[in-house]
């Protein structure tokens, strides 16, 4: 069963690219006392993630800031090196969007959002979703229903939920 509104997110150790290479990030500490938008993609550089999902949060970043969101975080079951390159390629770094790697998919599995699409080479990846998290608790959850679409979980849709 997947995570839902009102649930506390499980603690997880994710990985971010720092100035000196990969560094661990304790998700619970990052969320404590903050309002955060958290969204997940099946993979960096994949078509919908690259052309629709990430751009929707880049476009809406200032509007989320204006509504009191402390941070926007993108999570993917990719290594931190790929996410760092993707952040540069999309402009996510420049926009101030954090990219966190869930390298073994532990967080993704813990919240019930894992899937595989073997013909596309996507094994143990995250389903597409977005959520508003307040002090570690899911205030609003928007999982995408159809694969390859970004309607329910896009920046504009999540912004409308605030």
Q: Which strand (E) or helix (H) includes residue 59?
A: helix 54-66
Structure tokens that stand for 57 in this block = 């949060």
65/104 Cα distance (integer angstroms): 31
Contact 99, 87 (CB under 8 A): yes
Active-site pick, 12, 36, 49, 132: 49
160/162 Cα distance (integer angstroms): 6
**Could you give the C-alpha distances from 46 to 24, 51, 88, in angstroms and in order?**
25, 8, 15
53/64 Cα distance (integer angstroms): 15
49 is catalytic: yes
Active site residues per annotation:
49
């Amino acid at each position: 069963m997947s995570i839902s509104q009102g649930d506390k997110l499980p603690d997880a150790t994710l990985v971010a690219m720092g100035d000196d290479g990969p560094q661990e990030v304790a998700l619970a500490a990052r969320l404590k006392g903050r309002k955060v938008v958290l969204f997940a993609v099946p993979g960096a550089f994949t078509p919908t993630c690259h052309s629709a999902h990430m751009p929707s949060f880049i476009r809406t970043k200032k509007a989320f800031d204006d509504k009191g969101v402390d941070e926007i975080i993108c999570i993917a079951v990719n290594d931190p090196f790929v996410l760092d390159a993707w952040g540069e390629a999309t402009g996510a770094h420049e926009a101030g969007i954090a990219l966190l790697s869930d390298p073994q998919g532990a967080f993704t599995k813990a919240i019930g959002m894992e899937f595989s699409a073997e013909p596309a080479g996507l094994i143990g990846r995250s389903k597409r979703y977005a959520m508003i998290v307040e002090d570690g608790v899911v205030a609003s959850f928007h999982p995408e229903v159809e694969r390859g679409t970004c309607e329910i979980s896009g920046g504009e849709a999540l912004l409308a939920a605030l």
